[in-house]
């Protein structure tokens, strides 16, 4: 039944995948080009990588971006998971529809709109409450939490829907309170979705250019902002090296996380089978 | 009654052990009942308040500021509610910004250009993405997982860096032109960068995974015996596709199209890095209005008008999304 797909469709699949991957592979190849000129192959060299690690501007921006991404994705996982629990476990409460909308809308809202409305909010807040005093780390983290938590909610929500509620009820019958029952029984089951939600938020935050540009004050440049200004000015070979590094780390990270999670999943399935026996 | 007592005791054993005097039973029961009744708000409120303050209220501020006049200063706009004089508040609401949107061709043209670009880019994504998702859904389970990883990986990779990677290939002295010149297919480099074509290419390249994933999700669930039944009844494969597969995968088509179409209209990075001076997409106009012209009221008005235009597509997306979640 599987080998009936027409060759034309398979060709399009292969073409599509090649289209998605070729530019990135070429970029990685270029990053090892000894010559600063793109059209000339100057031999294999890692000098752009060495140069990268001497560029304080890039290193500072990378550090700031990682700090923001860790804080924002942690916040997004906490709030996003709470929202998922609210939506799955409490089928009727006042404002449920509003919460659903607020969780989902940031996912498709064009970034530029989110960015501009948030900076107007921060400016008005500074005027009214004299907080935030400066725009930078805090405002970027808040903005990132706001647009990342929807991804966490969707990931956790779909997982939470599959969890057997009777297990938790059993724990409650045995005397543990609802919070305790949730943490002991359900939380371990949905933990993989929390991890993938965190990772997704981390990469989204690390990558964000538009929203950060709006809500960042002068002096706080994240990595995408530095890359963007360098790219805008023209070709710079150290950006090739930086891009390859980021693509490589993210790629390897996703593959490792995926494999680990699949293994944990398989283990869980085996455990369940053993328990059922 | 006894069971209730027992429950309370079980929940606070540490308190009784510490010798904390128990409040009167009636009051305890009342507090307990109130807590039981409202405790779910402890979970609902934090995300609810956060999103209200940092997602909904910002739109109200943008709406307010879109009626202000721009001035030079910090913040660069006039207050709507002026100081109180002679016992009445000065309210200065100016609809100039909206008038300006409709009188200056720039805004209307860039809206139309953005919608057109996003529409055709979405169409191309659909034409490439549908066969890809279909082929994926028909592969063996192991291959499906591998293909899924292959499609998801770019989704995790930096958007900006992927656009940059594409740029390095299609630029005048990039790999594409060098290869075509070397093959002798062209005798002078093609000009791809800084054209409308480059914007299409960039959007299709960046958003293709967003199209493939929801399509794959619906096609994978599709019961293929229906297609076989149609074939058994003597229908040619293309009829089976039109009558069975396509209608059943429609939710995926719409979800995928909206996931590409809506963000693509507001795209800033792609037109500014790859497009020419003529590719005035609304995201770019908004950015320039804000950062270069420092005209915040006009930028707010552009944003508000843009959101109003997006309400329709977003509603369609939410509708099909909810349907798909329920399925």
Over the stretch B131-182, which tens digit does the pLDDT of each residue have? 999 999 988 888 898 898 889 888 888 889 999 989 888 888 788 888 888 8
- Nearest chain A CA: its distance from B96 CA (Å): 19
**What pLDDT was estimated at residue B314?**
84
How far apart CA A184 and CA A168 sit, in angstroms, is: 9
DSSP one-letter string for B226-285: HHHHHHHTT--HHHHIIIIIHHHTHHHHHHHHHHHHHHHHT--HHHHHHS-TT---HHHH
CATH number belonging to domain B101-326: 1.10.3720.10
Tally Cβ neighbours within 10 Å of residue B102. Answer: 10
3-state DSSP: chain B helix, strand, coil percent, rounded to 5?
75, 5, 20
Q: Which two tokens stand for residue A190?
A: 């949905």
CB atoms A27 and B164 under 8 Å: yes
- Closest residue by Cα to residue A228 from A61, A107, A68: A61
Q: Which two tokens stand for residue B250?
A: 């429609």
Q: Can you tell me which residue has the tokens 């070709």?
A: A235
Contacts of B287 (CB under 8 A, 6+ apart): A112, B268, B272
Q: Which two tokens stand for residue A124?
A: 């008005």
Environment class of residue B26 by beta-carbon count within 10 Å: exposed (0-12), middle (13-18) or buried (19+)? exposed
Helix residue spans in A90-164 (DSSP H): 96-108, 111-129, 137-162
CB atoms A117 and B135 under 8 Å: no
Contacts of A158 in chain B (CB under 8 A): 325
Residue A216 φ/ψ, nearest 5 degrees: -85, 140
Contacts of B51 in chain A (CB under 8 A): 83, 99, 102-103, 106, 146, 149
- Nearest chain A CA: its distance from B169 CA (Å): 6
pTM above 0.95, yes or no: no
Q: Which of B14, B76, B158, B225 to mutate to test the interface with A (most CBs of A within 10 A)?
A: B158
**What pLDDT was estimated at residue B45?**
94
For residue A122, give the chain B residue with the closest CA: B58
Contacts of B317 in chain A (CB under 8 A): 108
In degrees, to the nearest 5, what angle opens at C-alpha A79 toward C-alphas B300 and B8? 140
Q: Can you tell me which residue has the tokens 């070979």?
A: A237
CB atoms A105 and B314 under 8 Å: yes
For residue B153, give the chain A residue with the closest CA: A251
Domain spans in chain B, listed from the N-terminal domain onward: 101-326
How far apart CA B67 and CA A45 sit, in angstroms, is: 57
**What pLDDT was estimated at residue B91?**
64
Give, for all 327 residues of chain B, the pLDDT tens digit. Answer: 444 444 444 444 444 455 555 556 788 888 888 888 888 888 999 999 999 999 999 999 999 888 887 766 666 777 776 655 666 666 677 788 888 888 888 888 999 999 999 999 999 999 999 999 999 998 888 889 889 888 988 888 888 999 998 988 888 878 888 888 888 888 888 888 888 889 999 999 999 999 999 999 999 988 888 888 888 888 888 888 888 889 989 989 999 999 999 999 999 999 999 988 878 899 999 999 898 888 888 899 999 999 998 888 888 887 877 666 555
Q: Give how far Cα B312 sits from Cα of A4, A24, A111, Å.
A: 39, 36, 18
How far apart CA A122 and CA A145 sit, in angstroms, is: 15
Q: Which two tokens stand for residue A232?
A: 């805008």
- Nearest chain B CA: its distance from A243 CA (Å): 6
3-state DSSP: chain A helix, strand, coil percent, rounded to 5?
80, 0, 20
Q: Is B91 helix (H, G, I), strand (E, B) or coil?
A: strand
- Closest residue by Cα to residue A146 from B51, B263, B60: B51
Could you tell me the sign of the dihedral formed by the alpha carbons of B58, B60, B63, B65, in that order? negative
CB atoms B43 and A86 under 8 Å: yes
How far apart CA B101 and CA A46 sit, in angstroms, is: 51
Q: Is A106 helix (H, G, I), strand (E, B) or coil?
A: helix
For residue A20, give the chain B residue with the closest CA: B205
Q: Which of B35, B36, B58, B151 to mutate to test the interface with A (most CBs of A within 10 A)?
A: B58
Whether omega before A132 lies within 30 degrees of 0, making that bond cis, reads: yes
Q: Which of B164, B237, B255 to mutate to test the interface with A (most CBs of A within 10 A)?
A: B164
Contacts of A75 (CB under 8 A, 6+ apart): A141, A145, A149
Give, for all 277 residues of chain A, the pLDDT tens digit. Answer: 444 678 888 999 999 999 999 999 988 888 888 887 766 777 888 888 998 889 898 999 999 999 999 999 999 999 999 999 999 998 888 889 899 989 988 888 899 999 999 999 998 898 888 888 888 899 999 999 999 999 999 999 989 998 888 888 888 888 888 888 888 889 988 998 999 899 889 999 999 999 999 999 888 899 999 999 988 887 678 888 988 998 888 888 888 888 888 888 788 888 878 887 7
How far apart CA A55 and CA A52 sit, in angstroms, is: 5
The mean predicted confidence, pLDDT, of chain B is 83
Q: Which two tokens stand for residue B200?
A: 């299409």
**What pLDDT was estimated at residue B83?**
57
**What pLDDT was estimated at residue B10?**
45
Q: Which two tokens stand for residue A226?
A: 């530095």
- Nearest chain B CA: its distance from A188 CA (Å): 18
Whether omega before B75 lies within 30 degrees of 0, making that bond cis, reads: yes
CB atoms A113 and B57 under 8 Å: no
Contacts 24+ apart (CB under 8 A), B101-109: B101/B298, B101/B301, B101/B302, B101/B305, B106/B280, B106/B285, B107/B282, B107/B285, B107/B302, B107/B305, B109/B280
**What pLDDT was estimated at residue B1?**
40
Contacts of A123 in chain B (CB under 8 A): 75
CA–centroid distance for B60 within its chain:
20
Residue B117 φ/ψ, nearest 5 degrees: -60, -45
**What pLDDT was estimated at residue B326?**
57
């Amino acid at each position: 039944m599987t080998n009936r797909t027409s060759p034309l469709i398979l060709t399009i699949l292969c073409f599509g995948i090649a289209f998605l991957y070729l530019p990135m592979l070429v970029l990685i190849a270029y990053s090892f080009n000894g010559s600063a000129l793109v059209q000339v192959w100057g031999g294999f060299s890692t000098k752009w990588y060495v140069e990268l690690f001497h560029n304080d501007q890039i290193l500072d921006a990378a550090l700031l971006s990682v700090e923001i991404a860790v804080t924002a994705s942690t916040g997004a996982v906490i709030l996003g998971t709470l929202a998922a629990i609210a939506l799955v476990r409490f089928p009727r409460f006042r404002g449920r529809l509003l919460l659903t909308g607020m969780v989902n809308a940031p996912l498709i809202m064009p970034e530029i709109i989110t960015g501009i409305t948030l900076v107007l909010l921060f400016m008005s807040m500074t005027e009214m409450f004299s907080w935030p005093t400066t725009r930078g780390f805090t405002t970027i983290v808040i903005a990132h939490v706001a647009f990342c938590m929807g991804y966490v909610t969707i990931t956790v929500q779909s997982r939470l829907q599959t969890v057997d509620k009777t297990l938790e009820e059993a724990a409650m019958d045995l005397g543990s309170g609802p919070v305790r029952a949730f943490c002991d029984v359900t939380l371990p089951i949905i933990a993989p979705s929390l991890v993938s939600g965190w990772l997704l938020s981390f990469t989204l935050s690390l990558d964000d250019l538009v929203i950060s540009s709006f809500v960042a004050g002068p002096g706080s440049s994240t990595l995408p902002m530095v890359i963007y200004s360098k790219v805008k000015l023209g070709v710079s070979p150290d950006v090739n090296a930086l891009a390859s590094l980021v693509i490589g780390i993210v790629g390897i990270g996703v593959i490792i996380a995926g494999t680990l999670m699949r293994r944990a999943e398989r283990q869980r399935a085996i455990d369940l089978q053993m328990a059922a026996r | 009654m006894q069971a209730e007592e027992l429950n309370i005791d079980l929940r606070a054993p540490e308190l009784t052990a510490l010798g904390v005097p128990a409040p009167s039973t009636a009051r305890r029961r009342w507090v307990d009942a109130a807590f039981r009744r409202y405790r779910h708000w402890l979970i609902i409120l934090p995300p609810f308040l956060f999103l209200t303050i940092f997602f909904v209220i910002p739109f109200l501020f943008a709406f307010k500021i879109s009626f202000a006049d721009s001035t030079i200063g910090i913040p660069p706009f006039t207050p709507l509610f002026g100081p109180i004089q002679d016992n009445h508040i000065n309210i200065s609401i100016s609809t100039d910004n909206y008038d300006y949107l409709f009188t200056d061709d720039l805004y209307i043209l860039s809206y139309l250009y953005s919608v057109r670009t996003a529409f055709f880019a979405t169409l191309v994504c659909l034409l490439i993405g549908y066969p890809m998702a279909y082929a994926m859904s028909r592969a063996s389970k192991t291959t499906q997982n591998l293909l899924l990883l292959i499609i998801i990986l770019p989704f995790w990779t930096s958007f900006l860096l992927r656009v940059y990677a594409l740029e390095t290939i299609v630029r005048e002295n990039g790999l594409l032109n060098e290869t075509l010149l070397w093959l002798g297919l062209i005798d002078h480099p093609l000009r791809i960068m800084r054209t409308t074509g480059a914007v299409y290419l960039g959007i299709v390249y960046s958003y293709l995974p967003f199209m493939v994933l929801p399509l794959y999700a619906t096609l994978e669930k599709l019961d293929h015996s229906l297609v076989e039944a149609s074939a058994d009844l003597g229908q040619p494969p293309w009829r089976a596709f039109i009558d069975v597969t396509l209608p059943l995968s429609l939710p995926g088509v719409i979800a995928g199209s909206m996931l590409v179409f809506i963000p693509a209209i507001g795209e800033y990075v792609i037109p500014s890095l790859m497009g020419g001076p003529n590719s005035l997409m609304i995201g770019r106009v908004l950015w320039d209005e804000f950062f270069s012209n420092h005209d915040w009221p006009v930028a707010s008005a552009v944003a508000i008008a843009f959101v109003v235009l997006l309400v329709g597509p977003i509603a369609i997306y939410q509708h099909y999304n909810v349907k798909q979640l329920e399925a």
